[in-house]
Structures are given as C-alpha cells and as structure tokens.
Amino acid sequence: MSWTEIVIEIARDHAEALSDALMEVGALSVSVEDADEGTDAERPLFGEPGMEPKEAAWEHSRVVALTEQDADQAAIVAAAAGQIKLAAVPKFTLRKVEEQDWVRLTQSQFAPIHIGKNIWVVPSWHEAPDPDALILELDPGLAFGTGSHPTTRLCMEWLEAHPAPGKTVLDYGCGSGILAMVAKKLGAQQVAGVDIDPQAIESARDNSVRNQCEVEYFLPDTFAQSAYANQRFDAVVANILSSPLKLMAPMLSGRVAEGGTLTLSGVLARQAEEVAAAYAPFIKLGVWAEQDGWVALHGRLGSDTVPPARDA
C-alpha cells in the first residue's frame, strides 16, 4: 500500500491551526518541521519548564500531512484552509510514500554511539563494535537518555573520568537510567535513580535488567520514604534543566556526603553562572566541560575552591 504526503510551507502563525484542521478534514497524520532545516537559518525549538514556546512551530514552517493515495489532496487542503479562514488556499506539493519495512527503516537510523574513551551505547539490533568496552544495550524510547544529547554525554564522560568503585551514587532525574547504569558498570557499590515520570522509572528498571545492573529506581515520594530517605551519596549526578536545578539546590546539595561530588548538566553555557550561584551557599561549582553550547558543572562538598575544568 502507498500513501501521499501533502507538503505546505507556511508562516508560524498558521502552522499549528492548519495542522489541526488537516487532521479534522481527512489527513491520517500531520507533522510540523523547520522549513529552513539544513540551512544557516535553521533554528532549534525548545524551552525549559514554564518557558516553553507558545507554538510548536518555526518562523518558516513546513506542514506535512499524510493521506491515503486515492484521497483528494487538493480538496483536503482547501477544506482545511477554509476551516481556519485563510485568505487563500496555500500552495502545496505532493510526495509519494511507498510501503516500507518501517521497523527496519527506523532501526537503521540508530547506530551505536561511542562516548568518552571506552563507552558504547548499542541498540539491541546491533552488534557491539568493541565487545571489551563498557557496553550499554539501550533502544531509543520514551524516556530521555540514549547518549545522543550533549548533556547526557557530558555526564557519562564525567562518570568515566571519575569512577566510584565501591561507593554510592545517586542519579536524580534518571530518565532511561543510562547514568545510573554507567556508574554501576564502573564499579559503584550502591546506585539509586529518581525521576518524576512513572514511565521513565519503568523504562529505567527494564534497561537495568537487560544490562544486568543492580540499580534501585524511585519516584520522588517513594524515594523519600525508602531506606535512602536520609542517605547522603558519594556522588550525585543530575541531568535536568537549569530552572529546576536551581530550585533543587538545597535538596540536591543535601544529598551529597562530606567530601562527595555533585555534577549537574542540562545547563546552557550562558546559564552556568546563575546555576552555580544557586548552589554557592552549599557547594562551589565550576564548569567541567562544554559541548555544543551545553555545560556540565561539578564540585566537591567541603572544598573551598572551584574545581578545575577538564583538560582539553
């Protein structure tokens, strides 16, 4: 079976409304893309909690609607335009979509990822490039953390550079559990992960079983009532975003054992000073490393000096 895509380039103000209208008048699915993707004008679209973009669209957007091959695409576009009262029916192009093995196609887009010196994140359908490396079998899923994002990579590289054999580690905002599993595979004796998303907790538990990593995962409420309720950890890692990290400064700092380390990521380079300032009453943080505009901050509880950055 084949399908046909309707491709419409349109201004941000109409992209979201047009997408909804296309679904209502017969499109099977609709997506919005950056029409400037791959050019110097391409812009990322993201926001922190409470500061999300008002519209899920770009200044110059491309709306792509999937329809059945024998549908009347011109009528669908005209009906959608009329529904949102556009002054004119927008111009559009058509693309034929052939039947494919969508599972195999999706899998082909995710290759093993090499991180740091000796870490590989390998989807289940691939062979590990280096069987002697630290291997994490991890499929892309709904929980954040596959090693592809700079913030995750920074934390993984920090853990590799500062292993904690025989020690305790807390991964706060654990997502897929990738950081907790790295810590465990590097020799940590006791590792716990916390996340506010029940689906992330379920995913992290499944991933840890698959990778033979003994890690305990909790929602915040159950963590506060667990055996870890009053425990301080030798290393605390939190890969979240700057706004919640600032709010959690007293709590996260209070989870670090005397002489232990705190590592934060999910912080843009321009936000580093304000995040460090939020933690200054508890622990002195400095930038350890930067990738693609994101930084990892780190510090040691009880130290009066800002720790040095990673050597280039």
**Binding-site residue ranges for S-adenosyl-L-methionine:** 152, 173, 195, 239
Distances (CA, A) of 123 to 80, 104, 140, 257: 40, 13, 8, 35
Distance of alpha carbon 267 from alpha carbon 273, whole angstroms: 10
Q: Are 213 and 180 in contact (CB under 8 A)?
A: yes
Distances (CA, A) of 301 to 215, 233, 261, 296: 24, 11, 6, 17
**Structure tokens of 189?**
């004796």
Q: Are 199 and 143 in contact (CB under 8 A)?
A: yes
Task: Please state the φ and ψ torsions of residue 34, each to the nearest 5 degrees.
Answer: -80, 115
User: Which residues have CB under 8 Å from 137's CB, separation 6+?
Assistant: 122, 123, 124, 210, 211
Distance of alpha carbon 46 from alpha carbon 274, whole angstroms: 20
- Residue closest to 305 by CA, chosen among 285, 281, 288, 282: 285
Residue list for the binding site: 152, 173, 195, 239
